[in-house]
Structure 1
Amino acid sequence: MENDAVLRTSLVWLAAIMVLTWLYTQSLKKMAVTYLFGMLAIGGVVLPDWKFFDRPVSQWCTLVTDDDADSSQSAPATARFKFYPVRLLIYATVYGFAFHKWWKFITS
């Protein structure tokens, strides 16, 4: 991972959310589920190899070539993430569903 500061910041926010969950629910089980959900969410957004995923979804089943890796390294930091509507839809669906299930569990 290129930027460890993002991971550290995400983990600090997760710790704060876990404490708030425990204060709200007084349940160690719900706090543990919050930790698990948070770690999976952080792992899905912060840790992936973006050279692989920063391509059209139709190319995700193919290996990254040297040309793809070289072109993504030479791109400026502001253009690191290209906008792909299908990828955005996949991420929004998966994380939206997971957040909904987590919220239902916490508030029950």
Structure 2
Amino acid sequence: MGNDAVLRTSLVWLAAIMVLVGLYTQSLKKMAATYLFGMLAVGGVVLPDWKFFDRPVSQWCTLVSDDDNGSSQSVPQSFKLYPVRTVIYVAVYGFAFRKWWNFITSQN
């Protein structure tokens, strides 16, 4: 990861959300679920090897070399929006968020 500040900020926000969930639900189990979901979400968005994933999905099964990405570009490649990758991220994170929200708001 190129920027540790993004990871630090994400973890601070996760800690704040965990405290709010803990205060709202009074449940250690739901706080732990929030931590697990948050760490997986942060890890899935912030930590991937963008040289590998910043390509069309059809090329994900091929190896990456330093020459493939055009390392002379000054704009970070992690902000490119490929439609298939965006659909995959929205589907996975949307499903996970819905499951987490249902668990947090349940009366158990």
The normalised TM-score by structure 1 is 0.93
Which residue number in structure 1 is paired with residue 84 of structure 2? 86
| Aligned partner of residue 91 in structure 1, secondary structure | helix
CA displacement, residues 60-81 of structure 1 (integer Å, 9 cap, x when unaligned): 1111023214x1x322235542
Q: Name the CA distance, whole Å, in 2 between partners of 1:97 and 1:83.
A: 20
How far residue 7 of structure 1 moved from its aligned partner, in angstroms, is: 0.2
Counterpart position of 1:42: 42
Counterpart-to-counterpart distance in 1, 2:43 and 2:33: 15
Q: Which amino acid aligns with 1:86?
A: V
Would you say how many aligned residue pairs link Structure 1 and Structure 2? 106
For residue 102 of structure 1, what is the aligned residue in structure 2?
100
Q: Give the residue type in structure 2 aligned to 1:61.
A: C
Q: Structure 2: give runs of 5+ residues left out of the alignment.
A: none
Q: Tell me the residue number matched to 1:74.
A: 72
Matched, 1:60 2:55: no
2:50 and 2:77 in contact (8 A); partners too: no
Aligned-residue offset at 1:42: 0.3
Q: Percent identity?
A: 79
Cα distance between partner residues in 2 of 1:47 and 1:22 = 26
Q: TM-score, normalised by structure 2?
A: 0.93
Q: Which runs of 4+ in 1 moved over 6 A?
A: none
